[in-house]
Every structure is written in structure tokens, then in C-alpha cells.
Chain A
Amino acid sequence: MVARIHTIAFQGIDALNIDVQVTFTPGLPAFTIVGLPDKAVGESRERVRAALNGLGLSLPAKRITVNLSPADVLKEGSHFDLPIALGLLVSMNVLSSQELQEYIVLGELALDGSLLPVNGVLPTAIAAFAQDKGLICPEACGQEAAWAGDIRILAPKHLLALINHFKGTQILPIPQRANIPQQKFNLDMRDVKGQEMAKRAFEIAAAGAHNILMLGPPGAGKSMLAARMPTILPDLEPEEALEISMIQSVAGLISEGHIQRARPYRAPHHSASLAAMVGGGPNAKPGEISLSHHGVLFLDELPEFSRATLEALRQPIETGNITVARVNAHVTYPARVQLIAAMNPCKCGYLSNPGLACGRAPKCGQDYQAKISGPILDRIDLHLDLPAVKIDDLHLPPAKEGSAEIRERVRLARKKQKQRYLELAPHLKIRTNAAVDDGLLREIAQPDPEGRKMLERAADKFNFSARGYHRLLRVARTIADLENEDHIRLTHIAEAISYRKISMMQAA
């Protein structure tokens, strides 16, 4: 008789159903695992043998074959231990096969039979929910799995507890969703003295999830502003939180079963490699751009990033997802990020200040800024000039408005956007102006006649690209949303144009 246990293999954040088949045949006693297992899966043989020994069960002296079907998909990860062990227990008539058919099983075994946490429990739980099955996972992952919805979850600490549960001598507690710690920020926009223009630009960027580039001398407050961006972004919606947590689950970043509540804020160092940024490795793990999905990707010192790394961001910024192709995997991860970039105008940083600038200005500035390619600049909606802070400004009383007030306005603007897109294109699940496609944008961002005239003049004069033109419309739409206006007026267009620099040198 062949015992069958359901488990899962991961392709990106997608869960692929895997059938673990166990059979005993006469012949030389041997224990083989077939079905393209990688090293960790192949070694599970020894862990399973030891764990069963720990329970006082020894494998029968038969030819034991474990098949992971479909056989042409590479199986990796340590979560196959538990399904293999359960398959053996079914074959040895310790457990009944019928009960286990209702479950998807994953978990790693320690040599003493206790269950160790594994990655990817949340996507598995969601897959189980979709297939109307239960889930058996290690105790440490139970809370994470509970987020997937109303499914039967068995989260034993030890293999023995699971066996006892099926024998009816012990009842496993149902794991509860972990309480999410309320989000608390130690930072506040109020900490930033002066720079009111920048704060306004950040508010617009936050409201429409626009990309923003800050250009300014050292010490102007670029990193400070960027670090405060999460404090003015609205709370995650449940769907967004689930998407983010699925990526983190695959990357092994979920801690203590907490689902992600804060918007991701990732600030990779400029030495980051291409693979670290977009995802990679032999198994195509998610990169920074996917890990900051629905959040902020902050690239400080933009020109210092390697050129290839930056150019790789072009496509995901536009499409909101990234396809990582490797030998063993071809995976698409979501990558709807808000890019915040900061840079100095030149190497010494003081290009705009003749008193401090080095002798090589302005040639040095041209060279430095030329490191950022046009296509990347074109994809950034808001170009922001950050002048150095005057020392006098530091002694000003704190600004009246803090993050809380800005955040409330951002929340309302986002609500307006979400409602609009829910009415116009409910199937696309668009939430922000940044995510809307050009066709729909032209419909919803019709400027009034004066605005149109100004827009045309500006486009003519500054030679906007088609993308630049649409990005500008998007920003104007967000500005109008912030004022709760349905139509885009001249002032909105004007403000949007003011955030769009035509070339870098002009900014400097």
C-alpha cells in the first residue's frame, strides 16, 4: 500500500502541491528518497530515522521508497521531514491515512522528534485555505499560520504529540493569532527644522506613493526626512499586510508569528549587489525591492550604487513586479515600492554653495550627476532640492504640524484614491495614483482648460517624455486628492511641474 501525504514546495511565494508517497517493497533493506530532492531534503532520511527511533519505532527491514511527486520539480528546504515521517507512520500502520488526507503538512524534525520552525508557513496556510484543507506545522509557526483564516491548524511541539492527537489521547491547542504590537514611532516630522517645501513634497509622495529624489548638500536632512517617511504613511490594509508577510515568510524574516503591521522601510547600503536588490541566488530569493513591497525603498547616496544595480530597478518601478530567472527557478515577486533616493549634487557636496565648493565645480557636479541615467530620473515623480539648513532655523520652535497631522491628510487622500479605483476598475486592485496605468490616468486626471494650457506649454518647453508627462499628471492628481478635489486645476498642475526637474544641473 502506498501512503500519501500532502505537502508543498515553493516557487517564489507560490505554493506548489507536492504528494509524498511512501511504499515498502521486499528486497535489500534501504531507505531512498526520489523525486529531485536537494541536499537538505535528502538528508531528511537520517533525521526521520533518528526521530522515529526516539519514539521507539524502528524502520522495517524492507526497501523503503519515498517519492516526492511531481518528480520533475526541484524540492528544497527542510520542511519535508514531517510529511516523510508521517508517510512512514501511515505505512507502518501507526496513523490512519484517511485523517491525514485532510491536511497539508510541513515541518522540520530534530533528532529527538521535536518539530523545528520552517519558512513559508503563511503561504502554505493560505494555499491550504484555498484547497479547504487543514495544516500541520511546527508549534513555533502556528501563530503565523493562524493569520491565513479559519482553517484547522495542528501545531504540535513534538512528533509524539501529533501521534497522540490522532490516537485521541491528547488534544492539541488551536493556535491563536499573535497580537500585533501597536505601531509606535520614535521619529516625527516635527524633528525636522525648516525644510517646509520638502515636507510638503513628502506629503504628496506619501499620499500618492510617488517616487522622490532629494538633492542637497551634506547635512541638509535628506536621510532624516527619509527615515520619517514611514511615520506619515497610512497603516497597511489587511490584504497588503498579507502580501508583505508572504514575501517575508518565504525570505524567513517573520519573527514570533507576528504578521507585518508596519510598512516595510528598507535602506540597503550602496554596496548592494544586483542580486541583493532585485532578488536572486540559486533559488531566486526575493531581493530588497520585493522586501519593500508596499513600503519604502530608500537609496541613500544614489550615484554611489553600481550602475547595473540602479538600471535593474527600472522595470520593477514601472510594472510593480520583478521576475527573477535562475537555473532552478523562474519566479515573479511583487515589487510595488515607493522609491526614495537621496544624493549630493557633486562629490564634495557643496556645488550650490560657491563658498564651500571645491575647485573642480561645476564640471565635477556634471560628472557626478551624470552617473544617474535619464531613464531612472524619468521614473522619479518628485525631484526635490534640499538647501542646506540655516543654523538659525535649528533654534526655531518645533513645527506646529507633526507626523500625526500629515498622516491624517495622507490617509484621507489615499482613501479617496482607493474609492475611485474601486469604482472605475474594481478588478485591478489599484490603491494609489502611482499604480494606475496611463490610459485610466488620462481619464481621471483631466485638467481644467487653464491647467491644460499650462501643461502643454510646459511639455513643449521642457520636452517631457510620454512617461514624464504621465508622471506629472499623476502627481497633479495626488495634489488634487490631498485637497479633496475631483478636478485638477491650474494650481495643481503648476505645483506638479515645480517638482519636476528637467535636468540635474538645473537643480544644482
Chain B
Amino acid sequence: MPFYLPKSKNYLKKTKANQDGKRGEFLALFFLRLKGYRCLAQNYKTPVGEIDLVMRKGKTLVFVEVKTRPSLNEALEALRQAQQKRILKTALWFMKEFKAYTNYDMRFDFIGIAPSSWPKHIQNAWGAD
């Protein structure tokens, strides 16, 4: 075993929650594609934060946060104020990085994923006020 790897091998097998989350994000992407959104970025990472999905539909950019929980209610409650702010900052970063979208409208959506229920898509879930 190489010396530079940690002793525990947990990093290799992803946790169950992590796997569920990844699956949820994939589901959400699929769901939005069906609704006619185009994907611009997945897990867009910046020094100020991360956005699960950046989508485009017409002249609107949609920044999507996906939460996966055992029940839909838990999923809907999972988005905290601090994270909303972080996503706002990240969205602005995105706008700076890709100047082509300067004149696009911005929207912040939320998708809640839970087993055996249809994904819950909340449009314009929060804003900058």
C-alpha cells in the first residue's frame, strides 16, 4: 500500500449517503432535461461554493440545488439560508466566468428527491432579498 494514502480505505468506497446524493442529482438532471432544460454544468465548483446543476432554458439561467433525503419533507427542509447565500455567490462567479450569459435572467430552483415519489421541483425558490 502506497505511503501517501490514508490508512483507512473509506475514501475508496463512497458512503451510502454520498451514493444516494449522486443518484439524486443524476435523477434531477434527467428530470430537467425532460422538461426542456439544457445542462451547462454539473457540480460547478468555485472557491466560494458549489452548484449542483447549472441549466439553461431559453434566455434564463437556472441554478439548481438538489437534495436527496428518505422523505420529501426532509428534503424540502434541508436547504439552509447559509447555503442559499453561498449558491448566490457561486452563481455570480459563474456569470463572471462566462460573459456570454451576461444578459440572461437568473433563477434559483430547488429539486427535492425522495424514494418512490416524483421529484419536487420548486421554481424561483429564493432570491437575493
Q: Closest Cβ of chain A: how far from B104's Cβ, in Å?
A: 7
CA gap between A61 and B129 in the complex, in Å: 12
Q: Which residues of A contact B60 (CB under 8 A)?
A: 61
Convert A35-62 into 0s and 1s, putting 1 for each residue whose CB lies closer than 8 angstroms to a CB of B.
Answer: 0000000000100000000000011111
User: A61 contacts B105, CB within 8 Å?
Assistant: yes
CA gap between A45 and B127 in the complex, in Å: 13
Convert B85-118 into 0s and 1s, putting 1 for each residue whose CB lies closer than 8 angstroms to a CB of A.
Answer: 0001001100000000001111110000000000
B128 within 8 A of A: yes
Most chain A beta carbons < 10 A, residue from B104, B123, B128, B129: B129
Contact partner of A61 (CB less than 8 A), chosen from B92, B103, B127, is B127
User: A29 contacts B108, CB within 8 Å?
Assistant: yes
CA gap between A58 and B88 in the complex, in Å: 20
Q: Which residues of B contact A63 (CB under 8 A)?
A: 128
Interface positions of A from 207 to 232, Cβ below 8 Å from B: none
Q: Which residues of A contact B123 (CB under 8 A)?
A: 61
A30 within 8 A of B: yes
A129 within 8 A of B: no
CA gap between A62 and B106 in the complex, in Å: 7
A503 within 8 A of B: no
A484 within 8 A of B: no
A315 within 8 A of B: no
CA gap between A351 and B70 in the complex, in Å: 89
B124 within 8 A of A: yes
Q: Closest Cβ of chain B: how far from A64's Cβ, in Å?
A: 9
Number of chain B interface residues as a range: 10 to 19
CA gap between A63 and B103 in the complex, in Å: 12
CA gap between A422 and B128 in the complex, in Å: 62
User: A30 contacts B103, CB within 8 Å?
Assistant: no
Convert A51-82 into 0s and 1s, putting 1 for each residue whose CB lies closer than 8 angstroms to a CB of B.
Answer: 00000001111110000000000000000000
Q: Which residues of A contact B105 (CB under 8 A)?
A: 26-27, 61-62
User: A26 contacts B127, CB within 8 Å?
Assistant: no
User: B106 contacts A27, CB within 8 Å?
Assistant: yes
Q: Closest Cβ of chain A: how far from B58's Cβ, in Å?
A: 12
CA gap between A28 and B123 in the complex, in Å: 14
User: A28 contacts B128, CB within 8 Å?
Assistant: yes
User: B104 contacts A26, CB within 8 Å?
Assistant: yes
Interface positions of A from 366 to 389, Cβ below 8 Å from B: none
Q: Which residues of A contact B129 (CB under 8 A)?
A: 30-32, 45
CA gap between A29 and B124 in the complex, in Å: 8
Q: Closest Cβ of chain A: how far from B44's Cβ, in Å?
A: 16
Q: Which residues of B contact A30 (CB under 8 A)?
A: 127-129
CA gap between A98 and B5 in the complex, in Å: 72
Q: Closest Cβ of chain B: how far from A23's Cβ, in Å?
A: 14
CA gap between A28 and B124 in the complex, in Å: 11
Q: Which residues of A contact B127 (CB under 8 A)?
A: 28-31, 61
User: B91 contacts A28, CB within 8 Å?
Assistant: yes
Q: Which residues of A contact B107 (CB under 8 A)?
A: 29, 61
Of chain B, the residue at the smallest CB distance from A45 is B129
Of chain A, the residue at the smallest CB distance from B102 is A26
CA gap between A26 and B127 in the complex, in Å: 12
Q: Which residues of B contact A32 (CB under 8 A)?
A: 129
Q: Which residues of B contact A58 (CB under 8 A)?
A: 124
Q: Which residues of A contact B124 (CB under 8 A)?
A: 29, 58-61
Of chain A, the residue at the smallest CB distance from B104 is A26
CA gap between A427 and B129 in the complex, in Å: 54
Of chain A, the residue at the smallest CB distance from B123 is A61
Q: In the complex where A28-B88, A28-B91, A28-B92 touch, is A61 in contact with B128 (Cβ < 8 A)?
A: no
CA gap between A59 and B107 in the complex, in Å: 12
Q: Closest Cβ of chain B: how far from A331's Cβ, in Å?
A: 33
CA gap between A63 and B92 in the complex, in Å: 14
CA gap between A28 and B104 in the complex, in Å: 10
Convert A234-273 into 0s and 1s, putting 1 for each residue whose CB lies closer than 8 angstroms to a CB of B.
Answer: 0000000000000000000000000000000000000000
User: A26 contacts B128, CB within 8 Å?
Assistant: no
Most chain B beta carbons < 10 A, residue from A29, A32, A60, A62: A29
Contact partner of A29 (CB less than 8 A), chosen from B92, B103, B104, B106, is B106
Most chain A beta carbons < 10 A, residue from B60, B106, B123, B126: B106
Of chain A, the residue at the smallest CB distance from B62 is A61
Most chain A beta carbons < 10 A, residue from B105, B124, B126: B105
Most chain B beta carbons < 10 A, residue from A32, A58, A61, A63: A61
User: B103 contacts A26, CB within 8 Å?
Assistant: yes
Q: Closest Cβ of chain A: how far from B60's Cβ, in Å?
A: 7
CA gap between A45 and B128 in the complex, in Å: 13
Q: Closest Cβ of chain A: how far from B29's Cβ, in Å?
A: 20
CA gap between A26 and B61 in the complex, in Å: 11
Q: Closest Cβ of chain B: how far from A44's Cβ, in Å?
A: 13
Q: Which residues of B contact A45 (CB under 8 A)?
A: 129
The 3 closest A-B pairs by CB, nearest first: A29-B127, A61-B107, A30-B128
Q: Interface on B for A, CB 8 Å cutoff?
A: 60, 88, 91-92, 103-108, 123-124, 126-129
23 A-B pairs within 8 Å (CB atoms) are namely A26-B103, A26-B105, A26-B106, A27-B106, A28-B88, A28-B91, A28-B128, A29-B106, A29-B108, A29-B124, A29-B126, A29-B127, A29-B128, A30-B128, A30-B129, A32-B129, A58-B124, A60-B124, A61-B60, A61-B105, A61-B124, A61-B127, A62-B105
Interface contacts beyond A29-B127, A61-B105: sample of 5 additional A-B pairs, CB < 8 Å, sorted by A: A27-B105, A28-B128, A29-B107, A30-B129, A63-B128
